[in-house]
Each structure stands twice: as structure tokens, then as C-alpha cells.
Structure 1
């Protein structure tokens, strides 16, 4: 049997590796239009900022590695330009020679990922304006900085990558302004927590331009719709990404509500023997069961593994997600899991919320406050969502809340969790205990 995979970053390579483990006799070919494979895109801001100087650390595997370890043929700079699902054929373009050829498949995996969203801004193609999505983007930005030594930078977008780029450019000594056309930081936080983050970063002297729509970028300025101008000799567009679905759509593969490829829990599309995984697909929420678009490395690796398993006769299936995510900005950690308040209300839940502070460990041993915002359903007493802003311990706690939401544990049961305690690590009553107790108290009064 011949398996062809389109895309060789997280999902595509995961699918190939798992398929090889499942069937040693498979003929596996991966086509990748870029020059790099299996790279850690999430690490690019830290490479640009000099936290790690070794780009090879972010691109740990090569086509040769895959051939040696998995007996998988990876063809870089080869773009699949057409899928013929009736005859099970592909049209492939060799980007080095511009020659086209045909290939066939028995099973096909589409792992085309996503592309950086770039709004209609005049001047966005100037040489000092960059998207930040691929390894090639990261290398180009670092090379530009090393050659031109920009002094004033602008980051458009206040999502995860936007904040990470803000910090790393400041680390390089630049005067950086972060820009958003909304009046609220990061779309992933509810207003109350977004305001708290703004307050803490503003106290550090971070330059913000909120409610500012970029109209034009010139060689040394950003011009906003209201006529204001901002000096900038480096501009980073971190506005978000969109699923890369053109190839699938042209082949008659169905898209879902989020405009990403629609798959079932086995990563199967609507066309027999064609699977899809990674940032190009639509998944679903553990809590609501409704479609979501989740372009994260965790989800890409997971869905790729499922596709490779199913193709070789395995029983893995997707179990949904909570959109659990985390990012660092200076000495703060920001994390969220589950539904936001806005999402909870839009989904029809009757909710109760709490906002409280708790230390990750006792103050006498250096414990610091975490600000926790939690949402629960009045009817089922299940936790629907949590957002945390703090320092040490945020990562541990968001993961614990995610487990509680995944398995639908009621808030009144949080108190009975037998969690590890010793002063260097935790409090005798953990933040999770307090969240449960406060929510239980509020629910009992409803």
C-alpha cells in the first residue's frame, strides 16, 4: 500500500512516523513545498531574540533523518498542486526545476497547515515588514535585524506570538510598540483578565496602541486610519493564521463551519481514503461538542498521530479539546483553558464566575500571587473555563484545571483532590481547592 502525505511539519511527519510504526511494509512519501521540515514554529520568537542562537535546534530533523529512521521519502521544495480523488492521482511541481509530474496513492493525508493572515494594508510587502509563521520567516527576520540594526519596531497583533515578539525585540534593545485594532488585549482573554494584563504591562512601560487600525506602512512609519503616525523601521504582522484549504477544496473535500477541513474523529474527510490533520482541519470542543479551529502544535501532533494510526488499522480517535494554551510575556505567564465567559454565554450556559487570587506556594518561601478567573455551569456544576495570570505555578495549575474539565468533575469535588503539599512546592490548600470552594459557595446561594 502506498501512503502519500502532503505537508512535512508537525502533523504530516507525525502521521508518517506513526504509520511506519503500524506497518513496516508501507511505501510512504511526503511532499513539502518549503525547504524545512518538522520545525518548532513556536520557538521562532526566542531564536529571533537571541534566547537560542541555534536555528538547528528548532529544525531537529531532516529528510535524510526520516529516510534513515523511518524509511520515509521526504521531498522538500515539491508542491502538490492538484488532487484527483477519482483516479487517486496527484499533480506535483518540483519548485527547484519548475517541472511537473504525477504520482498516485492508495491513502492520502492532507497536512497543509495554515498561512499567516495578512490584511489589506498598503506597504505590507516592503522589505522591513514580516509575517512570523515559518522557519524561513524567523531566519529572515533575524538576518534583517543583524544587518540593519532597527531601532523602532512595531508588532501588530496581541495574540501569543505578538507578545512573544514584543518581549524578544525589547530584549534586543529596540523601542517596540504593540498595536491592536481592538480595545482589548488578546482575543483569548475575557475583558476583566485582559484589563489586568494591560495594567501590569502598562506599569512596565510597554507602548500600546489600542483601537488603532493600520492603513499604510511606509519605509519608516505606520500610518493609522485616523491619520496618526508611528515611527517604525521593523514591522511584525502577528495578526493570526488561517487554514490552508485551497488544495482540499478544489478536490471536493468538504470544509466545516470554521472554514477548515471537516474530518471525523478518525481524521477521515468526506472522500474515501483521504485523511487530514493539523492546522488545516476543524476539531471540536470537549465541553460543547461544537466545531472549533485550534491551530496549535499540540493538536497538530495529536491529530497527525491519529491519522497514521487509523490508516494502519489502529483504533485511535480524537476526543476533543479545551483550547488549552499558555504564553510568557516578561515575568508573567498567561494561560487559559476551556470556554471564555463570552463563549459560555453564547453557547447558552447559565454561568457563575469567580475571580480570586492564590499563591503558588507560601509567601514565606517566595510564593507569588496567581490571578484566577473561573467559569462554571449553574446546572451541572461543571467547570467551563479558567484563565490565569501570574508567575511561577501557572503552567501546573492550568493543566490541572484542564484535567478537571476534560473529565467533567463537579466543582464541589475539587476540595477532595489529594494534591501534593510541601512549602517549597505548594500550599496546604491549593489554588484549585480554593476555586472549587468559592464556586461551590456561590452555586449554593443561586
Structure 2
């Protein structure tokens, strides 16, 4: 070790730590950079673990993003795996390190320290939680254990209906196991709103997964013959061969806490926009930190690889800038200014994606918002293979800014969400969505792209050209409900109490509408109801539209039935 060199020590690899190390080397060739990783692998694709269990990814080697040898020979970065950092001495600027293979301790000095200790899976203190056959999925050794267990199993029980839970359900079904999924909330995918998550629940059930919503694990016990017994909050007794806990994760902040670094209310390390902690020589990145939500301004935990990578890049840039070494022109001002929580999940061919705030979050924070639903094809309907996608857009009533979006479908769901996420990052409004110029050819989209249409619907509402009825008031409204679909469509299912007056007949039947009562219109997906609104409003009637029509009504009804 050259005592004249600046020394950067990084605790933890994977996304944030490994990115920070590589970025620091690109900016500074003269620094000593050392990574300490408690696990066996310094950089691996943890998002691919469910698919390794399910044999979609056949080789474990495919999960390895970079090896210690690669770090050493390509980047001149020293990596110590199976090495645990046990203590930080902030005054002396040293860390205590334990070699897990030999049990020996040593001290390492630093000029800059980066904590990328990640998060640990939640294992609630339930009776029997540590019995054999109960697994978490966080790293490659975890996936090996689960993979070995599935070879001897016919039944699996997943506790938790988040992204990992759904991905594991799909992969275990593909292996031929009978799968039960237990979720405390009354919906799967808690980051989404219930009516949007309902599409995923429907797809899970259609593929044989038993969903038990609004139900939690109470205790586990060993079955006298084989497997495990789970007792639930609803008094059920479930037999299974293996259990996977997908309840969530919590920041692995013990090292930071014991060193006296500032933690937030959620248990994560508090950092500034440059990922610096309250100690000027210590930075933190990845799942261990709390981050600001760009929409609500609140602190939250977002254990996602994308933000972790960006944070690692920001921290490395800030460190090298502090050292006043490297090429200054290679050091643009970088800051991490929050997250949107943009995420995507696929389950049995159905893709679910979201960005920004959900409706339930906005309600919880008493934020003033409006929403529109649309159900377009993923490309032009006349071109073969068009599949419906379901989009929900949330926006501010006061300044028209986009607040969030969710989309579900079999095809091209990530594209509209990525476009809206980009607009969100720029502080765009719904009127900006109207005017976006996006790629169009019939096999890729529509002349009116779904993102444009979402902006048009929201923009028309804000201009007063498209008043929206409140879905939450459907059961209690005194308004006259009018279904403007055909008689055959109406007969196939309709909103209770809705009268059927097909769009094509309205001009001849305007005299049948009351002039002293609100009229709420509904159709299949919203388009015909909008046409009907324009016709009736111009005849002096008090009219509103139920956004998204029967498609939205059906989704909301499924969500209500699931929670009831």
C-alpha cells in the first residue's frame, strides 16, 4: 500500500458497491480501491435469481456480472469476498475486518469509506420461523438451496405477494409444483393500486396459483411425516414441502448504527444528494439508504438495482472530486435527487409496470389529484396481433403535473411507463404528454400513442371538455347512469341501475334525458361515452363520464371482491 495514495474502501458489492468501485477507478487511476464483500460473489444479478430457480437461466455462471479476477485485472481493484466488516472507527478512519474463512481480524485504513451493505430479508419472529425448509431469496447460495429443495417437493408456499413472490410463483409452477401464495394485504403487488394489481391476481389464479389475500402467517411447525405446517391468521392449516419468505427487506444498517451515523425513521442511512452521510468521510449507496420520493418529497426505501447503480456512480464522483484528483473535465456535477419507484414485473406472460405515486399513496398524503383510465391496443388494432394494455394515469388537479402511472398487459407495457417516467423526471404536465412525438408504425404503436391519449384525456378534463365522474361514488350517486353501448353488449353485463341508450340512438332520444339531474355515462373503454358526452353537453345537459368504461368497472369490481 502506498501511503501517499488516497484510499477508498467499499463495504459490499452487487449493484451500488461494484458500480462505485468501477466508476472511482475510471475517474482516478492513482487511488487504492478495495471492496469487502461478506458473500461469495462480489457482483451478481440478484434480479435473475427466481429465474435460476425455475431453470429459465440454466447456468449459475450467467448470474455472475463480474468476478474478483475481473476487478483486479481490468480495473486494478482489490476485492475480498467472504470478508465481513465488523466495526468502523470514525475518529481513526479505520475499519475492522474479519476473514470468514479463517476467523482472523485486521484493521484497514481509509480516506473515504462507502457503505453498500444492502438489505436483509425480513424474517418475522414467528414460532417455527427457523425450521428447515423455510427459505429467503437474496443471493446465489439462497437460490441453490431453494433449487435443491424444489427437486424433492411437490408443494410450495410463498409468504408475500410482492415482485419476488410473484416471480417465484411463476417459476415454481413451471417446475411442476402446486403453489399457494399468502399475502397480508388484500391485493398482490402492494405498490400498485388494487384494481390494477387485480389483473395479475387473475393471471396467477388462471395458472393454478392459490391466492390467499388478507391472510398472514402465524406460526410454522414440522409435519410429523413430511414438510411443514403453516397456521394462518384466518385459522387455516396449510401443508407444504417448502416455504419461501418474500415479505420484503430492511436496510442492513447495523454497521452504520453502531458507528453513530444518522439513520432515518425507516431504518436506512440518511445521505445528502451526493450520497454522503453525516460523516464527511463516509458515503452510503444502495438498499441501505433512505431516498427522497420525487413526487411526494417523503423519505422512503427503494431496494431496486437501477437507483443503486446511479447512487454508486454519484458517490464515486463526489469522492474523487473531494480528493481533487483525476481529470476534472471528467467530473460533471452529479447528484442523486430522488426516486420515482419505477418498476416492472412479469407473471405468466402478463407484464405489470408502475412509476411515481399510486392513488392510495396520494390519498394517504391528502394530495389533490385526478386520474384517467384507458385500455388501448399495444399497437394499431388493424395490424395482426394487437393486445390490450390497461393504463392508469394520475395527475395533479392544481398544476397539471404528472404524479404517477401504472400499466398492465401482455405486450409493450414498459414503453408507456418508461416514457411517462421520463416525463415525470422532467416535471412535465399532462399537456406535455399530449404533444410528445413518439415512434409510429402500425406494428409498433398507433398514430395516437397510448401515452398521447392518456395526456389528451387528462388534458380534456382539466380544460373542462371532459368532466370525469368519481368511481368511488358509483354506489351512492343520485346521478342517472347511462350505458351507451349496444343492446347486445349491455345484455352481456352492465353496471347495476344503468339504463341502456346506445350512442347511435342518442340524437333521437335527447328528450328522454332529465335536465335537472346529473348524467353519468359509461361504455366499453371510454371512447363512446366521450362521444356521447360531447353530444349531450352541447344540448345543455349535465353530463360526466366514468373513465375507462366497463373495463375499469370490471377491474375495480374484481379488486373489491378480492378484498371482501
TM-score, normalised relative to structure 2: 0.77
Contact 1:154 1:234 in 2 (8 A): yes
Deviation at 1:164, TM superposition (A): 0.2
The CA distance in 1 between the partners of 2:203 and 2:60, in whole Å, is: 32
Q: 2:157 aligns with which of 147, 154, 163?
A: 154
1:441 equivalent to 2:449? Answer no
The CA distance in 2 between the partners of 1:180 and 1:289, in whole Å, is: 28
Contact 2:355 2:404 in 1 (8 A): yes
Contact 1:352 1:442 in 2 (8 A): no
1:351 equivalent to 2:369? Answer yes
- Listed one character per residue, the Cα deviations across residues 240-295 of structure 1 (whole Å, up to 9, x for unaligned) are 00011010011011012322000001110001111111110111122233222111
> Could you say what secondary structure the match of 1:167 adopts?
helix
1:188 equivalent to 2:191? Answer yes
Deviation at 1:134, TM superposition (A): 1.1
Q: 2:342 aligns with which of 324, 331, 345?
A: 324
1:216 equivalent to 2:219? Answer yes
Deviation at 1:231, TM superposition (A): 1.8
Q: Which sections of structure 2, spanning at least 5 residues, go unmatched?
A: 1-5, 322-330, 468-564
Q: Which residue in the other structure is 1:43 paired with?
A: 48
Matches within 5 A, 1:250-399: 250-313=258-321, 314=331, 315-364=333-382, 365-399=384-418
> Could you say what secondary structure the match of 1:266 adopts?
coil
Q: Which residue in the other structure is 2:549 paired with?
A: none
Distance 1:226 1:424, change over 3 A: closer
Q: Which residue in the other structure is 1:85 paired with?
A: 90
The CA distance in 2 between the partners of 1:251 and 1:201, in whole Å, is: 45
- Listed one character per residue, the Cα deviations across residues 163-199 of structure 1 (whole Å, up to 9, x for unaligned) are 0000000000001011112222221111221234323
The CA distance in 1 between the partners of 2:442 and 2:305, in whole Å, is: 34
The CA distance in 2 between the partners of 1:158 and 1:341, in whole Å, is: 19
> Could you say what secondary structure the match of 2:290 adopts?
strand
Q: Which residue in the other structure is 1:127 paired with?
A: 132
- Listed one character per residue, the Cα deviations across residues 403-437 of structure 1 (whole Å, up to 9, x for unaligned) are 11111222123222111111111111111111011
Higher relative contact order (CA 8 A, sep 6+): 1
> Could you say what secondary structure the match of 2:44 adopts?
coil
> Could you say what secondary structure the match of 1:60 adopts?
strand
Greater mean alpha carbon deviation, residues 215-224 or residues 242-251: 215-224
Once superposed, which parts of structure 1, at least 4 consecutive aligned residues long, lie more than 6 Å away? none
- Listed one character per residue, the Cα deviations across residues 114-147 of structure 1 (whole Å, up to 9, x for unaligned) are 000111222222221100111111111112223x
Contact 1:269 1:276 in 2 (8 A): yes
The CA distance in 1 between the partners of 2:404 and 2:435, in whole Å, is: 20
1:58 equivalent to 2:76? Answer no
Q: Which sections of structure 1, spanning at least 5 residues, go unmatched?
A: none
> Could you say what secondary structure the match of 1:153 adopts?
strand
Distance 1:205 1:77, change over 3 A: closer
The CA distance in 2 between the partners of 1:19 and 1:316, in whole Å, is: 13
Greater mean alpha carbon deviation, residues 203-212 or residues 238-247: 203-212
Matches within 5 A, 1:170-249: 170-219=173-222, 220=227, 221-249=229-257
1:142 equivalent to 2:119? Answer no
The CA distance in 2 between the partners of 1:201 and 1:171, in whole Å, is: 12
Q: Which residue in the other structure is 1:26 paired with?
A: 31
The CA distance in 2 between the partners of 1:141 and 1:205, in whole Å, is: 20
Greater mean alpha carbon deviation, residues 191-200 or residues 168-177: 191-200
1:100 equivalent to 2:105? Answer yes
The CA distance in 2 between the partners of 1:52 and 1:427, in whole Å, is: 34
Q: 2:438 aligns with which of 412, 419, 428?
A: 419
Larger Cα-atom Rg: 2
Q: Which residue in the other structure is 2:423 paired with?
A: 404
Contact 1:382 1:408 in 2 (8 A): yes
The CA distance in 2 between the partners of 1:39 and 1:22, in whole Å, is: 23
Question: Number of residue pairs matched?
Answer: 444
The CA distance in 2 between the partners of 1:235 and 1:400, in whole Å, is: 38
TM-score, normalised relative to structure 1: 0.97
The CA distance in 2 between the partners of 1:158 and 1:233, in whole Å, is: 19
